[in-house]
Every structure is written in C-alpha cells, then in structure tokens.
Chains A and B, each alone.
Chain A
C-alpha cells in the first residue's frame, strides 16, 4: 500500500469520535469485558452514580480471576471472601443486562482465551477490559488494552474512552524460530534486550517473518506480554490465519456481514512506507529458550546463560541466586502451566509431547490449568489430560488460578516455581514464592528433571 500510515493509525483513526484538547481524542469502544475480581466494583459504582450501561449487548463478564480451579467448584472459593466477588459481580451483571460466562458455564474460561474462542474480539475493533493482559487480543488486529475500573465504568457509560494517542513502535522478528523455541521466548527476548519499560508510551505492532509464521495462539502469547513491556498495547496485522480462526465463531459476523467485514479487515496493515516513532528488529533464528532470573519480566536470560554480572542486589536477594550463576540446574519445587499467556490447546499439546512417558521428578508439585473450559474439553478429547496426570501433574478446571495468589491457594512459602505465567513479581504466586517464567516446553523439561532445564536437551534424542 502507498502512503505512510501505520496499522495503529488505522485502528486509532477509525475510532475517533471527536478530538479533545491537546493530543487526545474521544475513542469509540466496541467491546468491553469484565471479570469477577473488579466487575462488581465497576458496575455498582455506575449504578450508584445513577448511570446506565449504554449498550449491554457489547459488554461481557466472566468468572476467571478468583474462581477455584479444583473439580466440583461452586461459588465458594479457597480465597477468603471470594464468594462475594463472584456473587456481587453476577448480580450486578444481571441487573445491567450483561451476558456473563459464569462459574460452570461451558464457555467459562480466562477472558483472553474465551473472547477469541467466541469471536468477541474482531480485527479492527477496540476492546477493553480491567485486566492488563487485554493486549493479548491484539493478536487479531484489534486495538485491545487493559484499563482500570474507572475507565471500564467510563466505557460502559459512554461507549468511549478519553485517550492521548501513544507513539507507535514496530518490533520486527526476522527469520524463523528454531526447534524448541516458542513465542514466549520471543517476547521474553524483547523484554530481556529492551527492559520492562522498553515500550513505554508506545503502541506496538509485532511484524516480520517469524510473527507471520505463528498460529493465532502463538500470536496471542506474543501480544500477551506487551503490557510487561509497558506498552499501551501490542497487535498484529490480521491475515488469512486470523480470518480462518474467527469464521463461524458465535459472535463473529456471518453471511453478508462476514463478507463486508472481511473486505474492511484486509486493509488493516501498515503501509510499506509507514513511519514509526521507534523500530526494533530481532533475529528470531538467534532466540533461545528464555527463563527469568529476577523479579520483573525484563530480568530474563537464555536458559543456557548466567545471571548478569550487573544484576541488582534486591531481586537477587529475593530470588536467591548470585551474579554469574548458571540458571540451568537450579533446583525447583514446583511447576505451573496455565494463565492467559500459555494455556491454550496448542500450548498443552506441545507441553504434553515433551513427556514421552517420562514422569516429573520426585517432590515436585506440578499443576496444569487449561485456559478455558473449551480448551479443557478439547484437550481431554485428545487424551492430553491423561498424559499430564500420568506424568504427575494435577489437571484442573479453567481459570487464572495460581498465576497470582489472592489469599487462597498458593505454592508453599518461599518455594521456587517454574511457570508459564507472565509475572515473576515478589510473592506473586504465594508468600515469598520465587517465580521463574518460561515457555511450556521449558516448564515440562524442568519438571521432569527437577531443576531448571533446557527443553532442547530433551528433544535432541527424540522426534518431539
């Protein structure tokens, strides 16, 4: 295409209702998702102010954040007081006329897993949720980003948000990934090279051969951690993989609408001469499996690397590692597969293929939590649940689960966990728990060995 517009310009311009003072604009919001952690606060505040949800048909709610993931779950939660969050959100959603995917609904799951499954997120749409990982859904060529509760209230009441336009950045991954290297390693490499604030003030388009080669689930993993990069959002130009994924989904357009939508989606890309405020290029063929060593996701190294010589003292003290120490071989207490980053069917397929009849090491607590009830059913139909269970993993109902500790279930105090989640913050997964974030393959390889391990070593002798 001629011209110099970016995909972000197109997403932005097509939603400007009116310009505001300065660089801001009133931006139309097409889709809103709530969850039970903050849904009641937002909806009740709206109601108390005498305001209405402008268009409830475009607002959805789900229970994912604090609902239990143990079999036979109800509104009761291991988290003290969790029941109130679920029940108040349910009541408020009902009063507002909002569709809710409730505790035992067959479509329940993590918001950023079920929204694409149901065709709620679409190319060219704006979508917000009071959850920082809403950027995951940018994988569909949508402008999707996380907001606070007040902004969710604003969007529900007015169908808009008041925004200052961020700068634009393109992160291009050239070449192809090697075997055993995943989209999680791509985003962790970006974070390792440019830091947890590297994307501040920017909306980030992911592009390049390695991105085009990813399936939709891999693209979601990549976009998921744009928020860890401090970016407003991350997104990818839609292509045939995007359209094939969405066609026929419940809330996706059908018939003539589908044809009309498709025509409008085909132009959602950056012009050849598009001008970005910042461009980054990373050679995908040089990326290796990554593991975090510290307490923010930028503190990450290759699994074959050592803790940096200039590593800060505070995270080192917390995590219990030393400068120059090899990360491979560090003993772990637990392993976790799940979260909006890595809990989709392809993640579980790849992870389960690592076992080849092997079991996890003695004494390791290992948990697998499918990202949605639908993912769980599909995985069970393929026998993936049995592979995990036979290897020694717990197999759970879907939800955010132990990605974070809400006061209920957690890993033991001070334990070391290798995890497919997105945050290695202090005590994120439990009191004093030390989290190392990595890909599903790396988590399984480490769970089998009982120490942080390179998944490529396991793959060497086998055709995994």
Chain B
C-alpha cells in the first residue's frame, strides 16, 4: 500500500529524452536483490556514474546536480519507461523519492507499475514540458484537479484513468479491492468452467 498522492510541489528534474527504457532506469546488472528494495544505487546507473559498475558520480548527469537533490518529479520524453517490464525500475524510483513523472507518453507496463507503487504518471504535451523546464521553478501537481501548474500562473490539465486516480489518491491496494469481489469472480469462474473446461487445469477442474 502506497502513501496517498494528493498535491505535490517540487522542482522537477529534467531528463527529457525520448524512449528512456527501463534498462536505463535500472540496468539488469544492478538488480542484485531478489526483493523490492535496496535498488536506489542502481537508479540510472549507466548515466549516473563515470563507468559501468562504478559509483563515481558523473558530474554531467542531471541526478548529480545538487540543485535537483530534492526533486520528487522527473520531466521526461515520449514513451518513457519502454522496454523490459521490470518493476525494479519503479521500485528504485520510489525508493529514491520520486513521486511523479511528467512526460508526453508512457510505455503501458511502466505506467501500470507506477500506479501500483504510488508514482503518478502525468501526460503533458512536449510544449508544456518545455515551458516547465525553461521556468526552472517548482511545479505543483494536483491530482484531484488533474492539473499541473507553475507559480507564475501557467497551468495544464492532464488525463488519467478513473481507476488509477482513485488508487493513487487514496493509496489503495489493488489486490485488497479485487479480493472484495471474490464472490463475483467465483460466480464468473463457475460459469466459465462449464463453458471452457479446458482452461481449468489440474485437480480443481
């Protein structure tokens, strides 16, 4: 169960490249834990350090710029989070402290992983993202109102599925919600078992 997401104000960290894949967010070689934590050192490891496998900060990479040390929002490019389905990418982002990513589009598995871990994927047009980057100022994301705004007055609406919105706003656990529908699921499966017996393998069939 994630911390509810309501309103977040933070100086966003610009990482505006298209097609940032989950291999870049956390390379496979950095997924050393069989669990979901202990992953922050691997976050953006390929860009963040001077050499593969090393830990010497690359001064040219934005994450190593002290100005963004407390950023909780990333500004990204199109198709953010494409590639491998590894949820470690989102676990690492969340563990590091990021709570939202603003990008023109997201890869579908990554966006789903974000919502399941309390990170808000915000879809904004590239032009809006460029204005936010240029302002170099904190940005406020209001999930209830579905808006992103700058203190100067500019603001943009963003789309979000009803389900994802309520899960994030309330910090709900999806499994808990669905388990409450156990009776409906059982009724559906009973009917389905009669119609498609071959789907139900094993002793339960």
Contact = CB atoms under 8 A, between A and B. Distances in A.
Contacts of A257: 197-198
A267 B150 CA distance: 53
A361 interface: no
The CB with the most chain A CB atoms within 10 A, among B83, B85, B195, B196, is that of B85
A261 B203 CA distance: 20
Contact of A148 (B52, B79, B87): B87
B145 interface: no
A406 B82 contact: no
Contact of B112 (A55, A79, A148): A148
A150 B116 CA distance: 7
B46 A426 contact: yes
Interface stretch (A19-27, A337-345, A377-385, A453-461): A19-27
Counting from the closest, the 10 A-B pairs by CB-CB distance are A57-B202, A22-B162, A253-B198, A431-B52, A407-B29, A148-B87, A148-B113, A197-B79, A150-B116, A132-B85
Contact of A164 (B86, B163, B184, B201): B163
Interface of A: 17-18, 20-24, 26, 28, 30, 37-38, 40-41, 44-45, 49, 51, 55-58, 79-81, 84-85, 88, 122, 124-125, 130-132, 145-151, 153-154, 157-160, 162, 164, 166, 196-197, 200-201, 227-228, 230-232, 251-253, 257-258, 260-261, 264, 295-296, 298, 314, 404-407, 413, 423, 425-428, 431-432
A202 B204 CA distance: 35
A201 B161 CA distance: 12
B162 A21 contact: yes
B35 A80 contact: no
A407 B205 CA distance: 42
A132 B84 contact: yes
B185 A26 contact: yes
Nearest to B79: A197
20 contacts: A21-B166, A24-B161, A28-B192, A38-B86, A44-B34, A51-B175, A57-B200, A79-B29, A132-B85, A149-B87, A150-B113, A153-B175, A160-B181, A160-B185, A197-B19, A228-B82, A260-B197, A423-B83, A431-B52, A431-B53
A157 B201 contact: no
A260 B195 CA distance: 9
B31 interface: yes
B71 interface: no
Interface string B69-99: 0000000001100111111001000000000
A296 B21 contact: yes
Nearest to A150: B116
B203 to A, nearest CB: 7
Nearest to A55: B204
B67 interface: no
B27 interface: yes
Nearest to B77: A197
Contacts of B188: 17-18, 28
A107 to B, nearest CB: 15
B83 A28 contact: no
Interface stretch (B58-66, B101-109, B124-132, B136-144): B101-109
The CB with the most chain A CB atoms within 10 A, among B23, B87, B164, B184, is that of B87
B181 A159 contact: no
Given A57-B202, A150-B87, A196-B79, A20 B23 contact: no
Contacts of A314: 17
Interface string B167-205: 000000011011101101100110010011111111111
B36 interface: yes
Nearest to A119: B198
Nearest to A28: B188
A158 B79 contact: no
Given A148-B112, A160-B181, A298-B19, 13 more contacts: A26-B181, A51-B175, A88-B34, A145-B109, A146-B85, A151-B113, A162-B177, A162-B178, A196-B19, A197-B18, A197-B82, A405-B29, A423-B23
Nearest to B165: A22
Contacts of A21: 162-163, 166
B181 to A, nearest CB: 6
A264 B196 contact: yes
Interface string B35-64: 110000000001000001100000000000
Contacts of A431: 52-53
B165 to A, nearest CB: 9
A62 B17 CA distance: 35
B32 interface: yes
Nearest to B53: A431
A230 B34 contact: no
A122 B196 CA distance: 11
B199 A125 contact: yes
Contact of B32 (A80, A149, A154): A80
Given A162-B174, A404-B23, A423-B23, A131 B189 contact: no
Contacts of A232: 108
Contacts of A298: 19
B32 A147 contact: no
Given A427-B52, A432-B52, A159 B185 contact: yes
B85 A148 contact: yes
Nearest to B90: A148
